[in-house]
Amino acid sequence: MAQSVKGMRDLFGPVMGAFQRIEDTARTHFAKHGYQEIRTPILEYVEVFKRAVGDSSDIVNKEMYDFKDKGGRDVVMRPENTAAVVRAMIEHKLLASSDPQLLYYIGPMFRYERMQAGRYRQFWQIGAESFGVASPESEAESLLMLFDFLRALGLKELKLSLNSVGTPETRPAFYAAFRAFFDARESQFCGDCHRRIAENPLRVLDCKVPTCQAALEGHPVITDFLDEASRAHHDRLKALLIDLGIPFEENPRLVRGLDYYTRTAFEVLSSDLGAQSALLGGGRYDGLVKMLGGPDTAAFGWAIGLDRLAMVLEAVKGNQEGPKPALLIPLGDKASAAALKLAQTWWGQGCAIQLETRGGALKKALQTANRQGFTRALILGDGELESGTIMAKDLTAGSQEAWPIAEVPARLKA
Ligand code: AMP
């Protein structure tokens, strides 16, 4: 039997319903804030992520779904989209004016991960990015949009986990203190952390190994090393969040997995799934556009995993497939042609109708309708055609009545 590629899954049924609701809600909410959609290709040159995400990250180190194309070029199925969006913004000179640019994306990402529950090699993300604004106000606006979006989906138990990772200029002082702390207990840290302390010390804070997390007890805190401007920025954002009623918690170990973050870094946790778990992450990445060859541009953004969000939604609200349309069942050749024409008119008027086109017996059509969860059937036979009516059957109640054909759209919508 043919099977899907390892780590990649098909979406259908209730999970697909949850995905659609999430995507529709995102589009509505983000448009209200003036964000516009951008779609970039799934394949990018490997260089885009090597330069942006950084060689020391797990994404580039271990998880790239990369290969050579037929022309021998090194390409990769995008592991995340921020770097790709920045690449597109630079390529199309959309950042040249330094005007603010507000963008969102929805699409699949690919990481060659070890298999585990809730981790896929193809997964979906929704992200929002704002370019050209450095203020804490722009971060508060983006976070408010995010929280309104999540609350509109029915999530209540949300908390922002917040940190500032400072700027590249101020980080060396923190690194020195942190290396001294690490050296004093280096035998307690894993092999990966020994590599990280040399390449990118912040990553040690991010290590998932429990003994490393224990060894970090009492580590120097990066917010104690912020320069004055970064400190003021951080304090201002916290004041704005309090004002907006967005609950947050400061987390000095939160650094995000990527090299390009400056100042604000955050995750959003949800206890709707039981234990507190990270739903999404993001932050400020003022260094990235320049790093990829563009003009010096402030930037802030976040990305949320749809797979995990859909799981949370199913836990919160149970299965949710979209409502079924009415099933229009014609009986006989004459009615079949008439049903197509009627459906054409009703679709044009915005009605949701699915057409039974197999022909055959009414009994079989109704059995299928019940099995597939339809709640309304419209039956059109020669008799009905002559009298200008249609037999409307309520499949849940088992009752039926004749509706004048002209009244069908209004009655369906009622
Ligand atoms: P990241 O880009 O690593 O910060 O991930 C952002 C969000 O994407 C995470 O919070 C997850 O919800 C989701 N995510 C990342 N990797 C995977 C994966 N392999 N499978 C499913 N979801 C993922």
pLDDT in tens, 71-122: 999 999 999 999 999 999 999 999 988 889 999 999 999 999 888 888 899 9
CA separation for the pair 47, 195 (Å, rounded): 22
Q: Given the CA of residue 303, which atom of ligand 1 is nearest to it?
A: 6
Mutation choice for ligand 1 from 119, 206, 256, 276, CB with most ligand atoms inside 8 A = 119
End-to-end CA distance of the chain: 46
> What is the rounded average pLDDT of the residues 303-311?
91
pLDDT at 213: 93
Q: In sequence order, which residues have a C-beta less than 8 Å from that of residue 291 and are 6 or more positions away?
A: 51, 52, 260
- Ligand 1 atom, smallest distance to 80 CA: 2
pLDDT at 259 over 70: no
Torsion angle in degrees (nearest 10) through CA of 187, 193, 199, 201: -90
Please give the pLDDT value at position 316. Answer: 64
Q: What is the pTM of this model?
A: 0.87
Residue nearest to atom 1 of ligand 1 (CA): 281
pLDDT of amino acid 294:
95
Contact 65, 121 (CB under 8 A): yes
Report, as an integer, the average pLDDT of 302-326. Answer: 79
Query: Phi/psi of residue 163, each to 5°?
Result: -150, 165
- CA–CA distance from 393 to each of 12, 79, 82, 289, 399 (Å)? 28, 50, 51, 60, 6
Instruction: Locate 103 and state its tokens.
Output: 């963008």
> Does 275 score more than 70 pLDDT?
no
- 327: CA distance to ligand 1 center in Å? 39
The mean pLDDT of 160-174, rounded to a whole number, is 91
pLDDT class of 61 with cuts at 50, 70, 90: confident
- Mean pLDDT calculated for residue range 242-268: 88
Token reading at 88: 């597109």
Q: Which atom of ligand 1 is nearest to the CA of 258?
A: 4
Give dist(CA 60, CA 170) in Å, integer. Answer: 25
What's the mean pLDDT in 36-54? 92
Q: In what order do the strands lie in the sheet with 43-45?
A: 43-45, 74-77, 65-68
Q: Which one is predicted more confidently, 276 or 253?
A: 253
Nearest CA to ligand 1 atom 8: 305
pLDDT at 234: 97
Q: Give nearest CA residue, ligand 1 atom 7.
A: 305
Instruction: Quickly state the pLDDT bin for 156 (edges 50, 70, 90).
Output: confident
Q: How confident is the model at residue 311 (pLDDT cuts 50, 70, 90)?
A: confident
CA of 37 from ligand 1 middle (Å) equals: 20
Size of the chain in residues: 414
Comparing CA positions, the residue from 303, 298, 166 lying closest to residue 233 is 166
Distance 223 CA to ligand 1 centre (A): 26
For residue 355, is pLDDT > 60? yes
Residue 60 pLDDT exceeds 60:
yes
Name which residue sits closest to atom 2 of ligand 1, judged by CA.
80
Strand arrangement of the beta sheet that strand 389-394 belongs to: 353-355, 326-330, 376-380, 389-394, 399-404
Q: Average pLDDT of the chain?
A: 92
pLDDT higher than 70, residue 320: no
Q: Which atom of ligand 1 is nearest to the CA of 79?
A: 2
Find the 344 Cα to ligand 1 centroid distance in Å. Answer: 43
**Checking phi first, is residue 79 left (phi over 0); if not, alpha (psi -120 to 50) or beta?**
alpha
193-240 pLDDT per residue, tens:
999 898 888 889 988 899 999 999 999 999 999 999 999 999 999 999
Residue 59 has pLDDT above 80, yes or no: no
Instruction: Pick from 22, 61, 109, 158 the residue to mutate for probing ligand 1's pocket: most ligand atoms within 8 Å of its CB.
Output: 109
Please give the structure tokens belonging to residue 182: 């690490």
> What does the pLDDT read at residue 363?
96
Of all protein residues, whose CA lies closest to atom 21 belonging to ligand 1?
Answer: 119
* Residue 263 falls in which region: left (phi positive, over 0), alpha (psi -120 to 50) or beta: left
Instruction: Name the residue at shortest CA distance from atom 3 of ligand 1.
Output: 257
For residue 141, give the nearest of 232, 213, 240, 67 by alpha carbon: 240
